[in-house]
Structure formats: structure tokens, C-alpha cells
A = this chain, B = another copy of it.
Amino acid sequence: MTTSRKPRPDKARTGNRGENRREALLEAAASLFGTKGYDGTSIREISSAVGMLPGSIYYHFPSKEDLLLAVHEQGVNSVLRAVQEAIGKLPEDDAWARLEAACVAHLESLLGENSFSQVVTPQFTRSLEEPLRSSLIAQRDRYEKLFVELVDALDLPDGISKRHLRLSLLGSLNWSTTWYRKGRNTPATIAKRMVELYRYPLDISTARARS
């Protein structure tokens, strides 16, 4: 098993060209899938976006579905990494701060430059056919478990369902993809405000119940 790969540093432009082409395809597909949907994007659009002929895509990916799967996996990994990095530096005993940091990283991924993240959202998955659909959901579950833990760590007043709080908060955040416009509030600001909407009032309630 000789799996060490060679970067080929000799010519910057044409170096590891095969890898570059594959990544270019992933990037183009992510962007097109995100804006026009899976069904609304043709193999021809993706290939021409990277200056390739339609049939050549199948040198890199066995099918359009596999291309989506690869895009989605990269999306999940990238958001997962961003959130884990954001909460990694925070102390474990401040559950609200960790949740807020996670939400900021989440929304920055979702609304930022990264085309891959848009594909990770369940609203994208909804209209897909069944074998493909389940694969994406399985990938995404890896990510959502993170938020289950973060919300579980909160200290909440009685009568507040943690599950509904999590779903409600994620809904608030994810829904912003439908109304967000660049140039106004930054994704980080929006995320913080939305967490505040739950946090301060709930904190007050908790403190009152304690006293």
C-alpha cells in the first residue's frame, strides 16, 4: 500500500492538475446546486463552468448523484470543522457562550462565501429521491448531534423543552438563508441577536426560579 501522493510543485498553474479539476468541479457544482437546486442544475452547466465537456465529468464522478454526495460531504465537514474550532477555545462551564459561538460559526458558514454549506441544509434535501435523500440525511446527522449536546448542556427553567429549543433556534438561524442580504447585518451579528432572543429572557427566568 503506497499511498503517498506527489504534489508536483514544478509548475504552479499546471501542477497537480487532476486534483485541481476535481476540486473545481466540486466548487462549481456546490455553487450551482446551492442556487439552482439539484434538479435545476444540469451536468452541462457544471462542466461548462469549469471549461470542460459534459461527458468529461464522468471521468471524475460516476454519476450526478455521486457528485452531489461528494459536495454534501465536503459541506458537512467544513461546517463541522468551523463549529468545532469555534467552541474548542471556550470553557466547558459556559454553555450559553459555547452555544452562541457555535451559532455564529454555523451562520457564517451558511451565509458566507463557502458554497458548500448551502447544500447541507435540510431544505435542500427535501425534494430529492429516496436513496439519495437518506444518504444526505445520514451525513447531516453527524453535524446535528453537535447541537443536541450544546443545548443539553444549558441550564434552563422548568417547562422548556430542550428539543424544541434546539429545533426552534436552528430554524431561526437556517431560515435566515431566505431573507439574508449582504451588506446589512453580518451573519455573526444576526446569529448573536437570535441567540440573545432566547438567552437573556431564559437566563432571567432561570435566575428567578433559583432565588
Interface residues of A (CB under 8 A from B): 35-37, 39-40, 122-123, 126-127, 160-161, 164-165, 167-179, 190, 193-194, 197-198, 200-202, 204-205, 208
Q: How far, in whole Å, are A126 and B40 apart by their CA atoms in the complex?
A: 11
The oligomer's copy count stands at: 2
CB pair A126 B178 closer than 8 Å: yes
**What is the minimal beta-carbon distance from A141 to any residue of chain B, in angstroms?**
12
CB pair A197 B167 closer than 8 Å: no
Q: Please report whether the interface of chain A is mostly helix, strand, loop or mixed according to DSSP.
A: helix
CB pair A178 B37 closer than 8 Å: no
- Closest partner residue, chain B, to A40 (CB atom): B39
Known: A168-B175, A168-B197. 4 other contacts (CB 8 A): A126-B178, A167-B179, A169-B172, A201-B202
Q: How far, in whole Å, are A146 and B167 apart by their CA atoms in the complex?
A: 24
- Closest partner residue, chain B, to A167 (CB atom): B179
**What is the minimal beta-carbon distance from A207 to any residue of chain B, in angstroms?**
10
CB pair B178 A175 closer than 8 Å: no
- Closest partner residue, chain B, to A203 (CB atom): B201
CB pair B174 A175 closer than 8 Å: yes
- Closest partner residue, chain B, to A171 (CB atom): B175
- Closest partner residue, chain B, to A206 (CB atom): B201
* A167 contacts across to B, CB distance below 8 A: 172, 175-176, 179
- Closest partner residue, chain B, to A199 (CB atom): B201
CB pair A200 B205 closer than 8 Å: yes
**What is the minimal beta-carbon distance from A36 to any residue of chain B, in angstroms?**
5
Show 17 residue pairs from A and B whose CB-CB distance is below 8 angstroms, ordered by the A residue: A35-B127, A37-B126, A39-B40, A122-B179, A123-B123, A126-B178, A160-B197, A161-B193, A164-B193, A167-B175, A168-B194, A171-B171, A171-B172, A198-B198, A201-B204, A201-B205, A204-B205
